[in-house]
């Protein structure tokens, strides 16, 4: 009601011979000095002069005769007074100063309302008229807990220790879905990562806020909040606006919990049907914010945990995702929200493809063929399809995928993207060209690592680097020089930082060196290493390519030894791998050792 009041009012023009000139203003009126001789006349005209008919425009004066209008009419002021009186002194104190006594009063009021509603529902289960008032009181008591999010360091420990949190979670199974939705909204607000940020820094240390949030989230999980939330996802009807908002807030709670501690992800998938619900939800036609949120949450659940990815495979997740993505084969998303949805679905698939079992399911579901078609269509999905293929073909488990990729005539489309040949009509893409190049290089590296020697597929791959006067080999060298330039900039920044640390007499430990190495990888070293890995392979496989590369490097006073140095750094920093895979294939470290040995002999 208060929001609907019209606060901004124009001051009507006043004739200069009857009152002082007051310029039109908005909101709070500017202070004006009233002349003594005009006082009586001003009082007589108060009803017409006061902007918006402000009842207290002239009454609110200070000792010097200045007056400040609030912009409210008498009727609006009466409404405010009614609200003020209705709230009561106790409620106002709780909201104005949320100290421990105020928090306890709010929790006690909630407990009483919950108990009363439970008693009346059990006494009169078939007569809603008997418990409808207590339900309204419970609704109000739940919503009154919202301010607790402003003081997590005070409220959250009391919420957990008093048992109110367990009672709050228990109400998620309340017969009235509206009460459950109230609880969902409260929990969503309490678990927000920004809770308590309104407080000044000197009032609360960051650590205290984090500890309070940790206590709350652990308390929620101990009280089986995830199971009850998923039960509500199933019972809510998204055709209703309030239920739709409830679903949105439930997904938000899961995001808040996982954002605070991603280790809860396996527990969430193992104890609930959340994965099935998410896969069903992203398949529904008609895009809205809940469908987008479901895709985002699915992506989070599959990011780090192997058990979640395997469960995703068991529930036909690969088939579902390929079916959803097929809609973007020949049409682009209609708006940024749907674009984000599409990218989250692609990211979910990429995360799952880290597992060999999912790579096989992807192959069996003809995922390679769909991705190659998407690459050819050159829609927004094109860049993401290249990324998916990079993940699917990596490692020894991607060997079969590499062979199918060549059989599906993927080489032509891949090298078209690699050379930067994009249709001008459809050049728009949500992914930078540099990312496309990086994933295209990853695919080529996987093909060289996995395709059997002297196989027709391998011969076709090597032929690409020879055709058109070695244009693709020269493109590799261009990418190498570009990455090297970016890397030099990063190296200068690291040297500056290193000098500053040494000047401050700080020790440079292994952790700092690891951070700098990651900085180099992001700054061009990863691309640099991948290019040199590919160059070493093609130089070893074809004498003509070797001679051409040596000539091109010589023009810049470089030699094959520069490639050897890059591969040695790559070898020394690569993650430890077993000496051999189950299928007898060589690890990346062993391949690098052989390439280095060959290059040194050239």
Beta carbons of 144 and 88 less than 8 angstroms apart: no
- Please report which helix (H) or strand (E) contains residue 600, including its range: helix 588-601
How far is residue 167 from each of residues 108, 112, 164, 181, 251, measured CA to CA in Å? Answer: 12, 11, 5, 15, 21
Q: Is the pTM of this model over 0.85?
A: no
Beta carbons of 181 and 245 less than 8 angstroms apart: yes
State the pLDDT at residue 173. 93
pLDDT at 293 over 90: yes
237 Cβ partners below 8 Å, 6+ apart? Answer: 243
Beta carbons of 413 and 389 less than 8 angstroms apart: no
Give CATH for domain 284-451: 1.25.10.10
CA distance 470 to 466: 5
pLDDT at 291 over 60: yes
How far is residue 158 from each of residues 105, 164, 166, 187, measured CA to CA in Å? Answer: 11, 8, 12, 15
Buried b / exposed e over 321-340, threshold 16 CB at 10 Å, is bbebbeebeeebbeeeebbe
Question: Facing residues of 73 across strands?
Answer: 54
pLDDT at 502 over 80: yes
How far is residue 20 from each of residues 14, 416, 474, measured CA to CA in Å? Answer: 8, 78, 83
pLDDT at 36 over 80: no
Beta carbons of 265 and 258 less than 8 angstroms apart: yes
Which two structure tokens, joined as six digits, stand for 286? 């008609």
Identify the CATH assignment for 97-272 out of 1.25.10.10, 3.40.50.2000, 2.102.10.10, 3.60.21.10. Answer: 1.25.10.10
Q: For tokens 């200045």, what's the residue? A: 66
Beta carbons of 377 and 368 less than 8 angstroms apart: no
How far is residue 247 from each of residues 17, 254, 516, measured CA to CA in Å? Answer: 64, 11, 43
The residue-averaged pLDDT of 157-185 equals 93
Which two structure tokens, joined as six digits, stand for 511? 């952790």
Beta carbons of 192 and 248 less than 8 angstroms apart: no
Candidates 413, 533, 420; CA nearest to 471 is 420
pLDDT grade for 514, boundaries at 50, 70 and 90: confident
Q: Which of 191-205, 436-450, 525-539 has the lowest mean pLDDT?
A: 191-205
Which two structure tokens, joined as six digits, stand for 254? 């899961």
pLDDT grade for 525, boundaries at 50, 70 and 90: very high
Which residues of the chain form CATH 1.25.10.10? 97-272, 284-451
């Amino acid at each position: 009601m208060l929001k609907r009041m019209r606060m901004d009012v124009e001051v009507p023009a006043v004739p200069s011979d009857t009152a002082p000139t007051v310029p039109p203003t908005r909101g709070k009126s500017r202070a004006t000095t009233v002349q003594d001789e005009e006082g009586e006349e001003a009082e007589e005209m108060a009803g017409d002069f006061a902007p918006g008919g402000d009842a207290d425009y002239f009454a609110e004066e200070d000792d010097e005769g200045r007056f400040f209008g609030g912009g409210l009419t008498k009727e609006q002021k009466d409404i405010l007074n009614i609200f003020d009186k209705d709230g009561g002194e106790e409620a106002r104190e709780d909201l104005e100063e949320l100290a421990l006594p105020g928090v306890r009063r709010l929790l006690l009021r909630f407990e009483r309302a919950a108990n009363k509603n439970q008693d009346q529902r059990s006494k009169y289960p078939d007569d809603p008229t008997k418990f409808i008032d207590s339900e309204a009181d419970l609704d109000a008591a739940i919503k009154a807990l919202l301010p607790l999010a402003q003081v997590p360091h005070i409220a959250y420990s009391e919420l957990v220790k008093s048992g109110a949190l367990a009672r709050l979670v228990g109400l998620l199974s309340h017969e009235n879905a509206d009460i459950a939705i109230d609880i969902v909204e409260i929990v969503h607000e309490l678990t927000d990562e920004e809770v308590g940020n309104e407080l000044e820094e000197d009032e609360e240390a960051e650590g205290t806020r984090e500890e309070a949030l940790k206590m709350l989230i652990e308390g929620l999980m101990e009280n089986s909040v995830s199971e009850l939330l998923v039960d509500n996802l199933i019972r809510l009807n998204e055709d209703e606006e309030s239920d739709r908002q409830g679903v949105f807030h439930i997904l938000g709670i899961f995001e808040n919990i996982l954002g605070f501690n991603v280790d809860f992800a396996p527990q969430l998938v193992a104890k609930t049907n959340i994965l099935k619900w998410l896969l069903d939800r992203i398949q529904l036609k008609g895009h809205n914010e809940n469908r987008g949120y479901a895709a985002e949450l699915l992506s989070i659940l599959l990011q780090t945990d192997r058990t979640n990815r395997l469960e995703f495979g068991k529930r036909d997740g690969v088939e579902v995702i390929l079916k959803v993505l097929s809609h973007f084969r020949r049409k682009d998303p209609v708006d940024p929200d749907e674009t984000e949805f599409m990218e989250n679905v692609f990211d979910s698939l990429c995360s799952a493809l880290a597992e060999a079992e999912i790579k096989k399911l992807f192959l069996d579901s003809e995922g390679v063929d769909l991705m190659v078609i998407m690459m050819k269509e050159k829609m927004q999905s094109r860049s993401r399809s290249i990324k998916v293929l990079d993940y699917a073909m990596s490692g020894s488990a991607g060997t079969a995928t590499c062979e199918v990729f060549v059989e599906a005539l993927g080489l032509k489309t891949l090298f078209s993207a690699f050379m930067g040949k994009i249709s001008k009509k459809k050049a728009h893409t949500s992914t930078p060209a540099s990312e496309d190049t990086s994933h295209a290089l990853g695919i080529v590296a996987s093909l060289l690592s996995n395709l059997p020697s002297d196989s027709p597929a391998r011969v076709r791959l090597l032929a690409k680097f020879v055709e058109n006067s070695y244009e693709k080999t020269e493109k590799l060298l261009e990418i190498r020089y570009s990455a090297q330039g970016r890397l030099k900039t990063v190296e200068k920044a690291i040297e500056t930082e290193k000098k500053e640390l040494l000047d401050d007499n700080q020790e440079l430990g292994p952790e700092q060196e690891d951070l700098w190495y990651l900085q180099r990888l992001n700054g061009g070293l990863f691309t640099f290493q991948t290019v040199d890995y590919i160059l070493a392979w093609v130089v070893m496989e074809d004498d003509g390519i070797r001679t051409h590369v040596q000539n091109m490097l010589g023009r810049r006073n470089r030699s094959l030894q520069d490639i050897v140095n890059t591969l040695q750094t790559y070898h020394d920093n690569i993650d430890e791998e077993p000496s051999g895979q189950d299928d007898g294939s060589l690890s990346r470290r062993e391949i690098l050792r052989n390439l280095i040995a060959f290059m040194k002999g050239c």
